[in-house]
């Protein structure tokens, strides 16, 4: 397991994919936060700024692109030589990309806090759940990394996996939650969403628990099916 973790960490650090996605995430976070602070004249809750950059979605996309890229370049064959256990291979990637997602989210939080600190007269409402919002964002980043690995192991085609992720996050997921609220069907509002601190149907804690359950389910399915599939 240690060898797998080391190999996945080296691969993540030495490829340009993670660096490019990390820079894009920081740019979007800074641009969104500055834009929101510049144009608004009302008091903002910190969760609005934390969600502004959409870091969780980009972390999810990073995992999907990186893992499906392993299939394109046949790196998975080398991984199986390191460890013949498919479950260990998947667990290793989930750990590495989960930690990477949490670190990216933490850096985003630090950057946003820095912007808030130097912004003149930043109109913020610092309620008691400010710290909880920070923790939820970091946990959401970790879960997004894990979920991206699971999705990529289920859908090995890079194009198909990216289309599936984008379609669910921006269309299907929001549509189901909206229909649940509009038609008063509570069960539909419990579909997983990356909008943890800005979820229209649930508090950040509930939204996080839903995403945890969904991630565990998809990860378990990926491990189960991957053992029966050819490389």
Cβ burial 19-53 (10 Å sphere, 16+ → b, else e): eebbeebbebbbebbeeebeeeeeebbbbbbbbbb
Instruction: Yes or no: say if 33 and 123 are a contact pair by the CB < 8 Å rule.
Output: no
H or E, element range at 77: helix 75-82
The string of pLDDT tens digits covering residues 64-82 is: 998 888 777 777 667 666 6
pLDDT at 12: 80
What's the DSSP call for residue 169? Answer: I
What does the block give as tokens for 205? 């804690």
Instruction: Yes or no: say if 141 and 56 are a contact pair by the CB < 8 Å rule.
Output: yes
What's the DSSP call for residue 198? Answer: T
d(CA 197, CA 139): 11
Please say if the pLDDT value at position 189 is more than 60.
Answer: yes
What's the DSSP call for residue 171? Answer: I
Name the region of 191 (left: φ>0; alpha: ψ -120 to 50; beta: rest): beta
The string of pLDDT tens digits covering residues 9-28 is: 887 888 888 888 888 888 88
pTM check: above 0.95: no
Structural domain spans, the chain: 2-226
Instruction: Yes or no: say if 93 and 125 are a contact pair by the CB < 8 Å rule.
Output: no
């Amino acid at each position: 397991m240690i060898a797998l973790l080391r190999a996945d960490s080296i691969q993540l650090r030495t490829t340009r994919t993670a660096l490019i996605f990390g820079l894009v995430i920081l740019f979007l976070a800074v641009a969104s936060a500055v834009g929101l602070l510049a144009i608004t004249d009302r008091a903002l809750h910190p969760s609005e700024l934390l969600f502004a950059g959409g870091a969780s979605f980009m972390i999810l996309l990073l995992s999907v692109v990186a893992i499906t890229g392993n299939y394109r370049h046949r790196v998975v064959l080398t991984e199986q030589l390191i460890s013949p256990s498919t479950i260990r291979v998947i667990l290793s990637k989930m750990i590495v990309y989960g930690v990477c997602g949490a670190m990216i989210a933490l850096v985003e939080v630090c950057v946003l806090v820095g912007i808030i600190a130097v912004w003149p007269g930043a109109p913020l409402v610092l309620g008691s759940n400010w710290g909880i919002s920070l923790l939820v964002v970091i946990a959401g980043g970790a879960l997004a990394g894990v979920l991206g690995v699971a999705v990529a192991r289920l859908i090995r085609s890079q194009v198909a996996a990216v289309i599936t992720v984008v379609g669910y996050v921006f269309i299907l997921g929001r549509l189901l939650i909206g229909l649940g609220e509009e038609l008063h069907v509570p069960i539909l509002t419990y579909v997983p969403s990356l909008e943890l601190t800005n979820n229209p149907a649930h508090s950040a804690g509930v939204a996080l628990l839903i995403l945890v359950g969904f991630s565990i389910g998809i990860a378990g399915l990926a491990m189960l099916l991957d053992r029966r599939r050819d490389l």
